[in-house]
Structure 1
Amino acid sequence: METTTTIEIHQDLIESCKAGSQQAFGKLYHLYAKAMYNVALRIIKVEEEAQDILQESFVKAFNKINQYEYQANFGAWLKRIVINQALDNIRKKKDIISKDIEGMEIAEQEEVDWQEVDFTIERVKKAIMALPDGFRVVASMYLFEGFEHKEIAQILGVTESTSKSQFHRAKIKLKEILKTYEN
């Protein structure tokens, strides 16, 4: 959680950005770039594209900084821009969560037995990156970015049940991928 001092510093930087200070924006960039790059990378999967998303997101944030009204913390506001930019990038390449999956039935809600799988942080990261785009996007947004399925559905333009189904399928696929690493 941010301290009062940190919030005040960020508020001063944000107000300076609103006044047009590129130096203040540079400081905000350095405070948030690494975290926002990781957000983009979890969704996009390709380092160079994640770097492009990061740059485009900060340009968009700088252009829209006057719209920021302190209703959420700055990091959350910026993260939303990064996620939307990453999703727009994916949509340009292909429609990963197309309307045809809207009609799919929710996957059987069988529990995934994770005790059968050998975990290491590197294996899990590698396995998540190996997920198909639709599964990876929903899983990343739910697990790493803390969005609820209702929010994911709104952002992606799908139903809440589709988000839940994609997440469930992602868990099953993740287990399959992790088991292949054991061999």
Structure 2
Amino acid sequence: MLQADIIEQCKKNNRKAQMQLYNQYCQGMYIVAKRFVKDSAEAEDVVQEAFINAFTRLHQYHAEVTFGAWLKRIVVNKSLDFLKARKQELVELNEVHLKVVETEKDSKWLVDDAITVNDVKLAIAKLPDKYQYVVMLYLIEGYDHEEISEILGISNVSSRTQLSRGKRKLQELLKVKKNGSRY
């Protein structure tokens, strides 16, 4: 059965089709939620709520983007809602998902070779929430500023500003002192 057919069956409340769609996307959406929340069980809860939300709002999905991208946005929003409600820190990043940060001034944002992925994870966790969320959405999830502004309910300019400030704070946190230890 084609994905479009499965989605149409889900819109008709076909439980078998819903289970098929759930099985197809469950693991990937769990990984997304796990990046934002600390606990495995909490990430599972976020994913469950996201799927419930997606199935109840499936009539709003019109295939302007892939179903996976549409669902991912719901998972990210549910994760952020969960964090706001619980005031929890963002979870560790997966090394695979870190990428070089592009800035307006430099073509690439590079860090000292002595800095480890764990150092980057710890530095991101120390950022204030408003910078942390934008940095995570931009660097890890790959959203652009327009999408980030929609997700967080901020202006496009605020997204750019918070990303710029977040990157600057990350660079400060990752600077190596003269004696070799980090701040």
Please give the TM-score of this superposition, normalised by the length of structure 1.
0.70
Which of 131, 136, 144 is residue 132 of structure 2 equivalent to? 136
Which of 167, 173, 179 is residue 171 of structure 1 equivalent to? 167
Instruction: Summarize the Cα distance change of 1:159–1:32 in structure 2 as closer, same or farther, 3 Å threshold.
Output: same
Measure, in 2, the Cα distance between the counterparts of 1:9 and 1:118: 48
User: Which residue of structure 1 lines up, in the alignment, with residue 153 of structure 2?
Assistant: 157
Unpaired runs of at least 5, structure 2: 90-103
Measure, in 1, the Cα distance between the counterparts of 2:3 and 2:121: 31
The answer to whether the 8 Å contact 1:117/1:179 transfers is no
Amino acid at match of 2:85: K
The alignment status of 1:40 with 2:36, answered yes or no, reads no
Measure, in 2, the Cα distance between the counterparts of 1:159 and 1:58: 28
How many pairs are equivalent? 162
1:116-171 deviations in whole A, cap 9, x for unaligned? 25355555445444544322211121123222223312321223232222212322
Query: 1:1-183 counterparts in 2 under 5 A?
Result: 9-93=2-86, 114-118=110-114, 120-121=116-117, 123-125=119-121, 127-178=123-174, 183=181
* Percent identity between the two aligned chains: 41
The answer to whether the 8 Å contact 2:111/2:174 transfers is no
Unpaired runs of at least 5, structure 1: 1-7, 97-108
Measure, in 1, the Cα distance between the counterparts of 2:49 and 2:41: 12
Superposition CA RMSD, Å: 3.0
The answer to whether the 8 Å contact 1:152/1:163 transfers is yes
Higher share of residues assigned helix: 1
Please give the TM-score of this superposition, normalised by the length of structure 2.
0.70
